[in-house]
């Protein structure tokens, strides 16, 4: 991943904030715009602590993305606000619901309703690896799998991050005792689709996304 600079990252932070406003996040959260922004704007100071890396959509690498927790905007609502090539996002997790999937024990999320997901990799190197095997690789690399909220944040800010030949699993969100693994892919209608796959099944077009840290 190539290096950028903190000024570029600061501009990117502002872009992401504006995108959330344009997508209608304050209304989705049931808050006036000013109240909604109070949860996000303090995150900007943390940009200084991030290694300034460039966006590389082809390789599936991003310096950071703002994550709005589902406590503030529900997963169903957030996915419906995603747009890729004119197609809205959708959620199809039956027989489960988004809230059934919670972070695995090793993942610790920052306090508050929003945070930054840092040093993101879409999982190109884990294509055709079953989720269980991909998780072992991610751990070996001392990285962390990502959650449903984080996956939705990625396709909200970077719709082109989702590619037909490299969609991605969300290994950090699981339903206890269940072998279903949530993932985001492009469905037959061309929509970004939040669904699930079995944890023992590899797919040539499905990798497992990870991050370096959360702040």
Tell me which of 20-24, 51-55, 116-120, 198-202 is least confident: 51-55
Edge-to-edge strands, sheet with 210-214: 61-68, 114-121, 210-214, 144-145
What is the reported pLDDT for 97? 95
Contact 48, 6 (CB under 8 A): yes
Whether residue 206 is predicted with pLDDT greater than 60 in this model: the reply is: yes
What is the reported pLDDT for 1? 47
What is the reported pLDDT for 51? 85
What is the reported pLDDT for 177? 83
Token pair belonging to 33? 């715009």
> pLDDT tens across 11-55, in order?
999 999 999 999 999 999 999 999 999 999 999 999 998 988 889
Distance, C-alpha 196 to centroid of its chain: 15
Contact 175, 74 (CB under 8 A): no
What is the reported pLDDT for 53? 87
> pLDDT tens across 135-187, in order?
999 999 999 999 999 999 999 999 999 999 999 999 999 998 899 999 999 99
Place of tokens 């689709």: 193
Beta bridge partners of residue 214, listed in sequence order: 117
What is the reported pLDDT for 141? 96
């Amino acid at each position: 991943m190539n290096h950028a600079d903190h000024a570029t990252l600061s501009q990117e932070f502002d872009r992401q904030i504006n995108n959330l406003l344009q997508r209608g996040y304050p209304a989705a959260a049931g808050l006036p715009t000013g109240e909604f922004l109070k949860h996000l704007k303090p995150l900007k100071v943390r940009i200084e602590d991030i290694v300034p890396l460039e966006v590389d959509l082809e390789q599936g690498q991003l310096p950071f993305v703002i994550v709005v927790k589902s406590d503030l905007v529900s997963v169903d609502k957030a996915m419906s606000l995603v747009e890729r090539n004119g197609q809205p996002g959708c959620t199809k997790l039956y027989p489960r619901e988004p809230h059934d999937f919670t972070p695995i024990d090793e993942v610790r999320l920052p306090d508050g309703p929003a945070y930054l997901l840092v040093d993101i990799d879409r999982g190109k190197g884990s294509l055709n690896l079953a989720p269980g095997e991909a998780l072992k690789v991610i751990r070996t690399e001392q990285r962390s799998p990502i959650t449903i909220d984080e996956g939705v944040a990625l396709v909200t800010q970077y719709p082109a991050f989702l590619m037909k030949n490299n969609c991605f699993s969300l290994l950090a969100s699981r339903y206890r005792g269940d072998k279903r693994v949530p993932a985001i892919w492009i469905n037959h209608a061309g929509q970004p689709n939040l669904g699930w796959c079995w944890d023992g099944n590899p797919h040539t077009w499905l990798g497992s996304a990870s991050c370096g840290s959360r702040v």
